């Protein structure tokens, strides 16, 4: 993904199907093979009843690998493949807003520090990190740091997910780092 005139532009990325080495790129498993159930030795029965491992009516079977008395799916053997339903064989899919922005883009956003020494940390900051792109509880250690050092700390390892930095795909204008008694957190801001 890239930023063009302050607007997020999604690009194509490799589809996850490329990573499954059981199947060729662009495809996914339709049906796995079967192996003989070790609990009942392939009979589907245990004692006078049905073997629950391989023959339970509500077992872990799927539409494509249905129940087969005496056998269980063998997930190491691919019996049948079908086109990947994410990329339809094209090997690429569109990025989404939970994918990461590059650090270069994030580090280029103006950042400033607003010191609020008597402010208590908010619920969002301490429990969720919600809305923030960086949040740290340091019990006041930052009070000895310069603004530049605090900014450097945020730039070193910010949250990278794009959705944190865009509002209706518009990139934030700046990142304001707000301190509290216990630490500091960085918030994206948009001009009114
Ligand atoms: Zn069995
Ligand atoms: Zn795919």
- pLDDT tens-digit series, residues 90-132: 999 999 999 999 999 999 999 999 998 777 767 666 655 668 9
Residue 157 CA to chain centroid, in angstroms? 17
Per-residue confidence (pLDDT) for residue 128, from 0 to 100:
57
Spell 11-24 as b/e; 16+ CB within 10 A means b: eeeebebeeeeebe
Ligand nearest to the CA of 49: 1
Alpha-carbon torsion 127, 143, 180, 105, what sign? negative
Ligand nearest to the CA of 15: 2
Query: What distance in angstroms lies between residue 168's CA and the mean position of ligand 1's atoms?
Result: 54
Residue pLDDT, tens place only, 44-85:
999 889 999 998 877 777 888 899 999 999 999 999 999 999
Per-residue confidence (pLDDT) for residue 126, from 0 to 100:
61
Ligand nearest to the CA of 59: 1
Query: What distance in angstroms lies between residue 16's CA and the mean position of ligand 2's atoms?
Result: 6
Ligand nearest to the CA of 88: 2
Query: What distance in angstroms lies between residue 13's CA and the mean position of ligand 2's atoms?
Result: 10
Ligand nearest to the CA of 17: 2
pTM: 0.72
Q: Which bin fits 67, alpha (ψ -120 to 50), beta or left (φ > 0)?
A: beta
In the block, residue with structure tokens 């509002």: 167
Ligand nearest to the CA of 54: 1
* Listed residues: CB within 5 A of ion ligand 2: 15, 17, 84, 86-87
Q: What angle do CA 99, 84, 86 make, to 5 degrees?
A: 30
Longest dimension (CA), the chain: 77
- φ, ψ at 46 (rounded to 5°): -135, 120
The answer to whether residues 73 and 33 touch, using CB atoms and an 8 Å cutoff, is yes
Query: What distance in angstroms lies between residue 24's CA and the mean position of ligand 1's atoms?
Result: 31
């Amino acid at each position: 993904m890239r930023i063009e005139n302050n607007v997020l532009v999604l690009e194509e990325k490799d589809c996850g199907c490329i990573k499954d080495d059981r199947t060729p790129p662009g495809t996914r498993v339709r049906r796995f093979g079967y192996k003989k159930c070790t609990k009942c030795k392939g009979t589907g029965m245990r004692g006078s009843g049905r073997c629950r491992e391989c023959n339970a009516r509500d077992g872990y079977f799927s539409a494509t690998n249905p129940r087969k008395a005496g056998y269980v799916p063998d997930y190491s053997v691919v019996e049948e493949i079908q086109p990947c339903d994410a990329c339809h064989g094209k090997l690429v899919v569109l990025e989404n807003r939970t994918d990461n922005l590059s650090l270069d883009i994030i580090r280029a956003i103006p950042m400033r520090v607003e010191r609020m020494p008597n402010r208590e940390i908010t619920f969002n900051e301490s429990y969720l990190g919600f809305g923030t792109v960086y949040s740290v509880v340091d019990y006041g250690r930052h009070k000895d740091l310069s603004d530049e050092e605090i900014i450097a700390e945020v730039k070193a390892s910010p949250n990278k997910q794009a959705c944190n930095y865009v509002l209706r795909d518009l990139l934030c204008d700046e990142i304001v780092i707000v301190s509290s008694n216990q630490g500091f957190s960085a918030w994206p801001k948009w001009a009114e």
